[in-house]
Amino acid sequence: MYLLNNGLKIPKVGFGTWKATDKEQCKNAVRTALEIGYRHIDTAAIYGNEDAVGEGIAEFLKNNNVSREELFIVTKVWNTEQGYETTLKAYEESLKKLGLDYIDMYLIHWPQPKDLNKTWKTWRALETLYKSGKVKAIGVCNMKEHHLKHIMNNFEIVPAVNQIELHPYLQQRELKKFCDENGIVVEAWSPLMQGALDHEGLKKIAEKNKKTVAQIVLKWHLQKGLLPLPKSVTPSRIMENFQLDFILDEDDMKYIDSLNKEERIGPDPDEITF
C-alpha cells in the first residue's frame, strides 16, 4: 500500500480498464482481477464501461467474503463535463453507473489547455465532493508541474495522485521528483507501453529473473515508487501482471532507467484539443 497525503492507503497496483469496451468482457475481467487479488480498480466516464465495471465489482462482492471497504475504486470526470456544476452532476452519474454508494477517488482526466479556468472550477467541485464525504480522495491525471503548482497555490487541497503516461521510454523524472516532494503519488497509465515489449535488453532481464517482460517493467515501476495501472482482459495476463513478488537488482534497474527517451505514446497535456 502507498500512503496518500490525506492518510488514506491505496493498493500499489491498480487494474486498468481503458479500452475494455465489450461489456461482458469488461465485467468478467474486473471480477477476475478481484478474484486474483487486485483491490484497486481504475475506470473513467469516457471509457463507457462504468456500468460493466460496477457489475464486475457487485458479482465479486456477492460471491466472496470481502467487504466494499477493502476495495479502492477510482473514476474520472471527462473533459466535456468540466466546470463546477457539471462536475458535481458527472460524479453522481458515475456513481449511479457503478452502482456504488461512494467512490474512493475521483480524478480530473485531462487539463484543458484552451480553457484552464474550467479545469480549476472542476478542481473546486472535487474539493466540494471531498469535503462532503462523497469521495475519500481527489486527484488529477495528465498534469504537468505548472498545473500542479497552480492548484497548490490557489486551492486548499493538494491532489492525492497525478496519473500520467509513464513507462521506461517516458520516465518523466522531473515531474516525478516534484510530485514526490509534494506528497503526490504518481500513477502510471500505459505502464507496459501499450504492448511495446519486444525489446532485446528487457527480454534478457526477463530470462535472467525467470519472469515475463511485462512483469519486469511493472516491477521497475514499483521499485521506483510508482503505481502502475496494467490493463488486460485475458485472465492469464491479469494474473501475471499481479505476480510481482521478486526484486530487480541494481544492474537491472539501471538498465531500464537507461531506456528513457521521453517519448510519448499519448498526447501532450499542454497541446490537447479534445
- List active site positions: 47
Identify which of 142, 77, 79 has the alpha carbon closest to the alpha carbon of residue 103: 77
Separation of alpha carbons 274 and 80, rounded Å: 8
**Contact between 192 and 217 (Cβ < 8 Å):** yes
Q: Which helix (H) or strand (E) holds 207?
A: helix 200-209
Separation of alpha carbons 70 and 62, rounded Å: 14
Identify which of 227, 228, 235, 202 has the alpha carbon closest to the alpha carbon of residue 216: 202
Strand 185-189 and strand 161-165: pairing?
parallel
- Strand residue runs (E) in the chain: 2-3, 9-10, 15-16, 40-42, 72-77, 103-108, 135-141, 161-165, 185-189, 227-228
**Contact between 46 and 80 (Cβ < 8 Å):** no
**Contact between 139 and 227 (Cβ < 8 Å):** no
Q: Which residues are registered as beta bridge partners of 103?
A: 135
